Amino acid sequence: MPPEVPYCRSLVTPVLVRSLSPVSPEAKQELPFTHKHWQRTKKMNFTKKKVIPFLVLILATVSILRLIRITVTSYSSSSSSPPPPAFTPLQKEACTSPSQSCTQVPLHESMSSTNRIGTLANMTWLTEKEFQLLSNLVTRRAPCNLLIFGLEQQYTFLASINAGGTTIFLEDDPDKLRTIKIKIKLNTTKIYKVEYQVPAKDAYKLLKHARKSQACTASSGRLQMSKCRLALRNLPQEVYDLKWDVVVVDGPSGNAPEAPGRMAAIYSAAVLARNGNETNVVVHDVDRTIEKWFSWEFLCDENLVSSKGKLWNFKIRGQLNSTRFCSSEPVMLV
């Protein structure tokens, strides 16, 4: 026999039976309360159904109004901004370099200190701490001879700090030469357009060449007459003639294998620094392999005096009699 199943009465059953069966006089007294409760529930549901579309409509209206407001504000800001300034065409000045000529970019009028501070606040190329290290260095040595490989808007302020000294920028990017303006009033600040022939992908071959070639030693002679493949021989003559107090290497870009690398710039900065009494050579982007390799090789970790972020500051003392850049053995590359 099948097992006995205990009888369970559904809680819904009385309601169904009660609604389908005739209503007794005793039960009629309970109906008004039930009917009112049903009407109230129906009224509440009906009210919710009508309120939800209204809420959706209100939220959609608010969103559309905010979108219109943002659009109008953006349009007003763009229309009120001044048009870009007109740039003066490049003026060519013949260099006495043995290989080729260079181009000097004219300077522009000075701007107020308020605009200078406001412009500096919008710069993002160097971090605040990196730029502080560099500006403090130039401030301590100013007025001095300042050579900068690479033209960035932030570096134009270094020329202002170095008022009374000589500042030279070397840049190969035509776009930067057209868009970045030196807004200072100093005859001792110049911008030259130069060319770099060696791509970044050849860095390893050039480093091995420099280690084997006698022409690349520290005492190989004047840079512009050097036979070393890393030597920059197409620079303006005054770059070779002056004794530099500060050299900044932040160019060329070196940001792709086919782009010009900074191998020659770092090597040439090391050679130029050894011609002075005491030269600070500052290299940016040392988080990249080429900048790190060539800084270790020719500027030497023993000369590293300070750093901040991706900026290394080396202090090079004139050592014209030494045949080596570093006193310690170079890092071996496999």
Domain spanning 128-317: CATH 3.40.47.10:
no
* Parallel, antiparallel or unpaired: strands 189-193 and 166-171: parallel
pLDDT of 303 above 60: yes
* DSSP assignment string, 202-242: GHHHHHHHHHH-GGGSTTS--GGG---TT----S-HHHHHS
Task: Please write the tens of the pLDDT for every residue from 261-287.
Answer: 999 999 999 999 998 889 999 999 999
Q: List the end-to-end C-alpha distance of the chain, in Å, as a whole number.
A: 89
pLDDT of residue 101: 40
Lowest mean pLDDT among 60-64, 110-114, 135-139, 175-179: 110-114
Q: What letter would DSSP give residue 152?
A: -
- Spatial separation of the C-alpha atoms in residues 180 and 153, rounded to whole Å: 6
Of residues 235, 224, 123, the one with CA closest to residue 171? 235
* pLDDT confidence bin for 87, thresholds 50/70/90: very low
Task: Please write the tens of the pLDDT for every residue from 91-120.
Answer: 333 343 333 445 555 443 333 333 333 333
pLDDT of residue 55: 80
pTM summary value: 0.64
CB 59 within 8 A of CB 162: no
- Spatial separation of the C-alpha atoms in residues 48 and 42, rounded to whole Å: 10
Task: Please write the tens of the pLDDT for every residue from 159-202.
Answer: 999 989 999 999 999 998 888 876 555 568 999 999 998 999 99
The token duo for 285 is 């982007």
